[in-house]
């Protein structure tokens, strides 16, 4: 266990090093930060001065060396735009992103397990077929499109009336097709509950929750179908296995077989995929947050790219890299707990 953690820590260092080198290496392609800072009529001489001041004229190695030396002491530099240490900027934006990811994860867990299990138990029922075809659509529509459609339907509202308004049935059908709107279309709202430090939460008031719904649903929309299909496929396989057949033969109640024996073994690969996808979800927050103007890390990162705010970009990439390393390590640990036959260090026990 200890040996495993130490090994993972070494991995983490290598990963962070590689990320920092790569993000540093691409900065020359990210555009000129000076351009974003000064007005159009500022002469070249003054721009050169500012460039020198920021150390942008030094060679790659000198710049990287300076960055790495500071980073090892926890100083990741100052954001050009916010005029603050990048770590502070990220600390301020992190809670919003985490809340979004947590909310989306809740939606995924609450819906994917029952639907996935149902589709496995009753593979031929109409409802299962319906879930399967909807999930295909869900996987194929990109997040930003889902987000924009949700805004149009539930924030702005749609007035759709192809049926005659005079008749009762027409009115009813039109009503079914049209939506009222009224959900908040952007941001986190004003009713945030302060938890600690930079963490203000949307979870503790009804008004705060309404702001969370649309972004969380959009973010969940890409993963939810994936998990439904994954759970369904795994469960189907498990239901074919010998021990389930044996349990059935033994006369154990179906409920117990499905939810105790089969589901437990179904969840093993789901946890692995889930851990990896959690990292991916952080990446998807870039799209969701941009569409909903959600003041989290994803939006901050996209804006940092537009402003060529290099220190912030590098810090963000490193922190996301860290999140990936940490979640994967955790997944491996949990895996060991769930299935004791898995050896973490790869040595015979």
Partner 1 sequence: MIDKKTLLASLLGASVVLPLPALGQDESSDSDPVTLRMAYDADPVSLDIHEQLSGGILQLSHLTHDPLVRWTKDVKFEPRLATDWERIDDKTMRFTLRDGVKFHTGNDFTAKDVVWTINRLKRSGDFKAIFDPIASATAIDEHTVEIKTHRPYPLVLNLATYIFPMDSEYYSGETEDGDPKDEIVKNGDSFASRHSSGTGPYEVVSRQQGVKVEFERFDDYWDKDSPGNVDRLVLTPIGENATRVSALLSGDVDFIAPVPPNDLERVKADKNVELTTMSGTRIILMQLNQKRVEAFEDPRVRQAFNYAVNQQAIADRLMKGFATPAAQLSPKGYDGYNDSLEPRYDVEKAKELMKEAGYEDGFSVTMMAPNNRYVNDAKISQAVATMLSRINVDVDLKTLPKAQYWGEFDDRAADIMMIGWHADTEDSANLYQYLTECPDAETGAGQYNAANYCNPEIDEKVAQANVETDRDKRAEMLQAVEKALYDDAAFMPLHWQDLAWAAKKNVKLEPVVNVMNFPYLGDLVVEQ
Q: Contact residues for partner 1 (CB under 8 A)?
A: 29-32, 35-44, 46, 50, 53-54, 78, 80-84, 148, 151-152, 155-157, 181-187, 290-293, 295, 299-300, 302-303, 305-308
Q: Burial, 286: exposed, middle or buried (Cβ in 10 Å; 0-12, 13-18, 19+)?
A: buried
299 contacts 290 by C-beta, under 8 angstroms = yes
348 touches 73 (CB < 8 A): no
Please state, in angstroms and rounded to a whole number, the distance separating the CA atoms of residues 107 and 225. Answer: 11
C-beta of 40 vs 73, nearer to partner 1: 40
* Nearest distance, CB of residue 144 and partner 1, angstroms: 9
Distance in Å, CB of 230 to partner 1, minimum? 32
**Nearest CA-CA partner of 288 in 169, 145, 160, 121:** 145
Tell me how far, at minimum, the Cβ of 68 lies from partner 1, in Å: 21
- Residue whose CB is less far from partner 1, 111 or 144: 144
Give the Å distances, CA to CA, from 61 to 55, 64, 68, 220, 278: 12, 5, 10, 42, 34
Q: Which residues are registered as beta bridge partners of 193?
A: 201
Q: Give dist(CA 43, CA 157) in Å, integer.
A: 50
Q: What is the DSSP string of 183-239?
A: S--SS--S-PEEEETTEEESTTSHHHHHHHHHHHHHHHHHHHHHHHHHHHHHHHHHH
Nearer to partner 1, 287 or 319 (CB): 287
Cα atoms in the 13 Å half-sphere on the side-chain side of 322:
7
Q: In the bound complex, what is the minimum distance in angstroms from residue 53's beta carbon to partner 1?
A: 7
Q: Is residue 64 a contact partner of residue 24, using CB atoms and an 8 Å limit?
A: yes
**Smallest distance from partner 1 to CB 174, Å:** 18
Instruction: Write down the least CB distance from residue 293 to partner 1, Å.
Output: 5
79 and 93 Cβ atoms separated by less than 8 Å: no
Q: How far apart are CA 54 and CA 73, in angstroms?
A: 20
CB of 44 to partner 1, least distance (A): 6
* CB nearer partner 1, residue 189 or residue 279: 189
Strand partners, 196: 199
Q: How far is the CB of 151 from partner 1 (least distance, A)?
A: 5
Provide the minimum distance between the beta carbon of 183 and partner 1 in the complex, in angstroms, as a whole number.
8
User: Nearer Cβ to partner 1, position 268 or 302?
Assistant: 302
Residues 6+ apart with CB under 8 A from 231: 112, 113, 115, 116, 117, 120, 266, 270
* Complex with partner 1: residue 49 or 140, whichever CB lies closer: 49
- Cα–Cα distances (Å) from 165 to 4, 174, 177, 210, 264, in that order, read 69, 8, 13, 32, 53
Cβ closest to partner 1, residue 102 vs residue 302:
302
- Closer to partner 1 by CB, 117 or 313: give it: 313
| Separation in Å, CA 131 to CA 109, 128, 290 | 16, 5, 29
CB of 312 to partner 1, least distance (A): 11
Give whichever of 295 and 336 is closer to partner 1, judged by the CB atom: 295
Residue number, 163 or 186, with CB nearest to partner 1: 186
């Amino acid at each position: 266990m200890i040996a495993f953690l130490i090994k993972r820590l070494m991995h983490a260092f290598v990963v962070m090093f590689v990320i920092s080198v790569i993000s540093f290496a691409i900065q020359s392609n990210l555009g000129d930060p000076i351009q974003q800072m000064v007005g159009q009529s500022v002469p070249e001489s003054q721009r050169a001065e500012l460039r020198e001041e920021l150390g942008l004229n030094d060679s790659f190695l000198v710049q990287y060396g300076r960055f790495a030396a500071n980073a090892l002491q926890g100083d990741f530099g100052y954001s050009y735009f916010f005029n603050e240490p990048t770590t502070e900027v990220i600390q301020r934006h992190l809670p919003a992103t985490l809340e979004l990811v947590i909310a989306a994860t809740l939606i995924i867990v609450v819906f994917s397990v029952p639907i996935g299990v149902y589709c496995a138990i009753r593979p031929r029922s109409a409802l299962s077929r319906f879930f399967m075809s909807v999930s295909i659509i869900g996987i194929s529509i990109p997040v930003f499109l889902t987000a924009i459609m949700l805004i149009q339907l539930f924030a702005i509202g749609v007035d759709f009336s192809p049926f005659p308004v005079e008749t009762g049935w027409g009115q009813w059908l039109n009503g079914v097709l049209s939506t009222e709107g009224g959900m908040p279309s952007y941001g986190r709202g004003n009713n945030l509950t302060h938890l600690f430090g930079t963490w203000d939460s949307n979870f503790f008031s009804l008004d705060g929750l309404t702001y969370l719904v649309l972004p969380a649903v959009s973010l969940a929309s890409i993963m939810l179908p994936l998990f439904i299909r994954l759970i369904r496929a795994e469960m189907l396989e498990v239901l074919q296995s010998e021990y389930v057949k044996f349990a059935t033969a033994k006369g154990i109640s179906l409920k117990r077989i499905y939810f105790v024996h089969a589901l437990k073994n179904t969840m093993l690969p789901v946890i692995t995929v889930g851990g990896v996808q959690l990292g991916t979800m952080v990446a998807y927050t870039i799209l969701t947050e941009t569409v909903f103007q959600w003041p989290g890390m994803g939006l901050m990162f996209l804006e940092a790219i537009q402003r060529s705010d290099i220190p912030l970009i590098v810090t963000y990439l490193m922190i996301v890299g860290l999140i990936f390393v940490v979640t994967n390590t955790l997944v491996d640990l949990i895996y060991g707990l769930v299935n004791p036959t898995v050896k973490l260090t790869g040595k015979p026990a």
